[in-house]
Every structure is written in structure tokens, then in C-alpha cells.
């Protein structure tokens, strides 16, 4: 069974600080996505990474896919209160069935 472990599970920081969230697995994924979910809403896709070693930037967010396509990280620079939410990684298997395994989630709170 494929599992995706995220760390940390909870994170509370002050506005302006930097942070990194990790997503780790022993399985290889064909692609990996990061989502942000706010209370009462469904997850919203932030980015998809598909190539080992790939780095993508979305404003203050930097996403990296591990060389072996087993892990990923999300780095936020100068966090803002609007970044508060549940961050989820999701890996797509290599079987071609477009099945996603979601990570355990990281709940981020950015204090003003």
C-alpha cells in the first residue's frame, strides 16, 4: 500500500517567517500534486510536478519533486496570514489509472 507521510503535522508561525513542508513515501509516483484546503471547502490544486528533480515556483511558494520521484517539498517564503490552511500532497501511481494517494496533511497557521 502506498503511503504519503507529511511533516510537520501542525505548524504555527509568525507572519514573515519562512517554512518548509515535507511529503515522503517509499513508493515512486508518476506525478505529485500539492493542494491547499480551507475550512468548509474542497482542496484547490496549487501545482503538479512530474519530473524527478523538478522545481516549480508560484509567487512565494517553491515546490520540488525528489530526484527519485518518492518525495516532495513545499517552501513558503515570507508567510502571510492568507497562507493559512491545510496543505496536502497527493501522488499519482504509475499504473496509469489516474489514482491519487493523499498525504496526511500539514495544518499551517500564520499569525499576523
Q: CB-wise, 77 or 92, nearer to other proteins?
A: 92
Q: CB-wise, 31 or 64, nearer to other proteins?
A: 31
Cα 40 to chain centroid distance, Å, stands at 19
Q: Which cell goes with 73?
A: 517539498
Instruction: Give residues with Cβ within 8 angstroms of 103, minimum separation 6.
Output: 4, 5, 6, 23, 88, 89, 90, 91
Q: Which cell goes with 92?
A: 499519482
Does position 102 interact with other proteins (CB under 8 A)? The reply is yes
Site string for other proteins, 31-60 (x = CB under 8 A): x-x------xxxxxx--x-x----------
Quick one: which H or E segment has residue 7? strand 5-7
Site string for other proteins, 71-90 (x = CB under 8 A): ---------------x-x-x
Does position 22 interact with other proteins (CB under 8 A)? The reply is no
Amino acid at each position: 500500500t502506498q503511503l504519503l507521510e507529511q511533516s510537520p503535522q501542525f505548524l504555527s508561525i509568525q507572519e514573515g517567517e519562512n517554512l518548509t513542508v515535507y511529503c515522503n513515501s517509499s513508493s515512486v509516483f508518476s506525478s505529485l500534486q500539492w493542494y491547499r484546503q480551507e475550512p468548509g471547502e474542497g482542496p484547490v490544486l496549487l501545482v503538479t510536478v512530474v519530473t524527478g528533480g523538478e522545481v516549480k515556483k508560484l509567487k512565494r511558494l517553491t515546490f520540488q519533486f525528489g530526484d527519485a520521484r518518492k518525495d516532495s517539498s513545499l517552501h513558503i517564503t515570507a508567510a502571510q496570514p492568507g497562507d493559512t490552511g491545510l496543505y496536502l500532497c497527493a501522488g499519482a501511481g504509475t499504473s496509469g489509472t489516474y489514482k491519487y494517494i493523499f498525504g496526511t496533511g500539514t495544518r499551517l497557521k500564520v499569525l499576523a
